[in-house]
């Protein structure tokens, strides 16, 4: 995987700052790609609206990045030290909600969003449109987790910001 930027996706909410990743040779972040893909879509547009409302209104203004909203994927922990396995997926837990958005939950106030897609099989790997985002999310999470472990990046709790070890907000991993 090439170098990617770790950048703010949305920091206007009261309780949570959402980060995303953007591949070096891309103008769009992975999360914006996800949003654009399903915005206005006849099949998944409503589900996307619910997901965005969950992110910005429920998490962002009322509950924070509450663990209840993140389904942890134990099999992903294979790529990460168990103590740092914070990768999960955001979805709404009611029958047949189709979309999954992969993410890395740093804490109650910081979430890094990746890409995702519709779940059409029992597992992410088995879902045709989810398999690649799943593999990529694994790699993003592995490199972000390692950067935190090695203290190359740190969280400034006062400002809900991720910086490099020198305090710079521009981060490439």
Partner 1 sequence: MRNSLARQILEETPNETRQFVKRYGELVARIYDLLEEKGWTQKDLAAKLDKSPSEISKWLSGEHNLTLRTLTRLEVELGEDLIQIPKTRKFQVNSTKVIHLEFARSNKNIPMDGGGYTDWKSQTSPVKSSVA
Binding site for partner 1 (CB under 8 A): 8-12, 18, 32, 35-36, 39, 46, 48-50, 52-59, 62-63, 66-69, 71, 91-95, 97
Q: Which residues are within 8 A (CB) of 42 and not within 5 positions of it... i.e. 6 or more apart?
A: none
Among the residues of 12-130, which ranges form H helices? 30-38, 45-53
Alpha helices in the chain (DSSP H): 30-38, 45-53, 131-149
Nearest residue (CB) to partner 1, 127 versus 142? 127
Q: How far is the CB of 95 from partner 1 (least distance, A)?
A: 6
Q: CB-based burial of residue 93 (10 Å sphere; 0-12 exposed, 13-18 middle, 19+ buried)? A: exposed
Q: Cβ of residue 10: shortest distance to partner 1, in angstroms? A: 4
If the CB atoms of residues 58 and 173 are measured against partner 1, the closer one turns out to be: 58
Nearer to partner 1, 44 or 148 (CB): 44
Indicate the residue among 4 and 34 with the shorter CB distance to partner 1. 34
Quote the least distance from Cβ 142 to partner 1, whole Å: 25
Burial class (CB in 10 A: 0-12, 13-18, 19+), 91: buried
Q: Are 113 and 129 in contact (CB under 8 A)?
A: no
**Cβ of residue 67: shortest distance to partner 1, in angstroms?**
7
């Amino acid at each position: 995987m090439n170098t990617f930027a770790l950048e703010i996706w949305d920091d206007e909410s009261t309780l949570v700052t959402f980060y995303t990743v953007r591949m070096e040779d891309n103008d769009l972040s992975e999360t914006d790609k996800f949003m654009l893909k399903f915005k206005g879509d006849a099949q998944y547009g409503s589900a996307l609206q619910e997901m965005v409302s969950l992110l910005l209104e429920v998490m962002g203004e009322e509950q924070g990045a509450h663990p209840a909203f993140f389904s942890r994927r134990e099999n992903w922990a294979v790529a990460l030290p168990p103590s740092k396995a914070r990768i999960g997926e955001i979805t709404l837990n009611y029958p047949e909600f189709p979309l999954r958005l992969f993410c890395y939950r740093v804490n109650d106030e910081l979430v890094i969003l990746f890409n995702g897609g519709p779940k059409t099989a029992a597992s992410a790997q088995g879902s045709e449109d989810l398999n690649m985002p799943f593999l990529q999310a694994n790699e993003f999470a592995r490199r972000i987790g390692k950067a935190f472990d090695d203290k190359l990046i740190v969280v400034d709790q006062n400002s809900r910001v991720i910086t490099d070890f020198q305090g710079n907000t521009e981060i490439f991993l």
